[in-house]
Amino acid sequence: MKLGNLIIPSRIALAPMTRAFSPSGVPDKNVAAYYRRRAENGVGLIITEGTAINHPSAVSHPDIPRFYGEDALSGWKQVVEQVHEAGGMIIPQIWHVGGARKIGDAPNEKSLPVSPSGLDLSGTKVTEPLTEEEIKQLIAAYAQAAADAKRVGFDGIELHGAHGYLIDQFLWEKTNKRTDQYGGDLVGRTTFAQEVVKACREAVGPEFLIVFRYSQWKLGDYGAKLAYNSEELTQLLLPISEAGVDVFHASTRRFWEPEFAEESDSLNLAGWTKKITGKPTITVGSLGLDHAFRDENGAANETSVAENIEKLVTKLQQDEFDLVAVGRALLADPEWATKLKNGELEHATPYSPESTKTLY
């Protein structure tokens, strides 16, 4: 699969999954081995777990990897070398959790959470809104991370604009009550995302891959929406796309569900995104599971992996999206993609909390 100037060796990506296995924020040989094992077993594009930009309240755990400081970047360089040696491509997910962070969280307990309007994900005021100067500093930190990713040897970056984290907090009306250029209507609320993408593009040049991950759902609010129909989704996506995004990663909990059923009974969020922007897209959501997430009403979603793969292949053949990210199935079994290719999924280690204790 061609993404930008890259040839991805398979249409399977490793979904980014926070593991907090980097001591003091520095990825070590175990992290490199974790990613290498998946690359050498058929995963074409590795998207790393979220990595902290250079800001004191970027993340909420001391062992979430940093993407600043020569110790951490040296560790990431070893990860990149291992993945490339195994034949895979790798991009870091660049992350700031914003108002999802709690006061007193490590690693910097004295640093307060930051968010567009000083609100947490419930809409409760916690701190003061970001100033324009603070916003500029955050944008610069994203751009520096992008430049460092290129310097270290990564194949691109993914900007985490999903799940109620910082970029998403600017996009979402519940957490963005600003009245300046960073707030207002749906298009106005894309301004921060646009400026982050533009700054990263300026930092890395025209040929370095930029993936933008976004979602409708938020942590603790799975019914949340940025866009209630395709017209609103167009207003949301086009400004961000035109800022310099190459690929969109549309995060959903069940990839087979239509996003706007009243407009199309087939297109999921990635499908609508590709139709609107014309850009390649990555879909995600319970592909490798027999038991998917419960829905908003608490109902279980029982489906077989074989059924999921059949649905996926049909959607790929219809050019609805281009890659699929797999999370928990690959967390449980690093050889999952190889077993899929060889028709041996019955031998795959199924996902369960017990199956992921070693995580290597």
- Which residue shows structure tokens 């879909």? 283
346: which residues sit within 8 A by CB, 6+ positions away? none
Helix, strand, or coil (residue 288): coil
282 forms beta bridges with: 249, 323
Spell out where the chain has E strands. Answer: 2-3, 6-7, 12-14, 45-52, 89-95, 156-163, 209-218, 247-251, 281-284, 291-292, 301-302, 323-326
State the Cα–Cα distance between residues 222 and 296, nearest whole angstrom. Answer: 7
Assigned token pair, 280: 């390649």
Residue 198: how many CA atoms within 13 Å on its side-chain side? Answer: 11
From residue 326, how far is each of 16, 33, 77, 312, 345 by CA, in Å?
A: 9, 18, 24, 12, 14
State the Cα–Cα distance between residues 222 and 136, nearest whole angstrom. Answer: 30
Q: Are 133 and 143 spatial neighbours (Cβ–Cβ below 8 Å)?
A: no
Q: Are strands 281-284 and 291-292 parallel, antiparallel or unpaired?
A: unpaired
Task: Assess whether 68 carries a catalytic annotation.
Answer: no
Of 35, 68, 142, 165, the active-site residue reads 165
Q: Which residues are catalytic?
A: 165
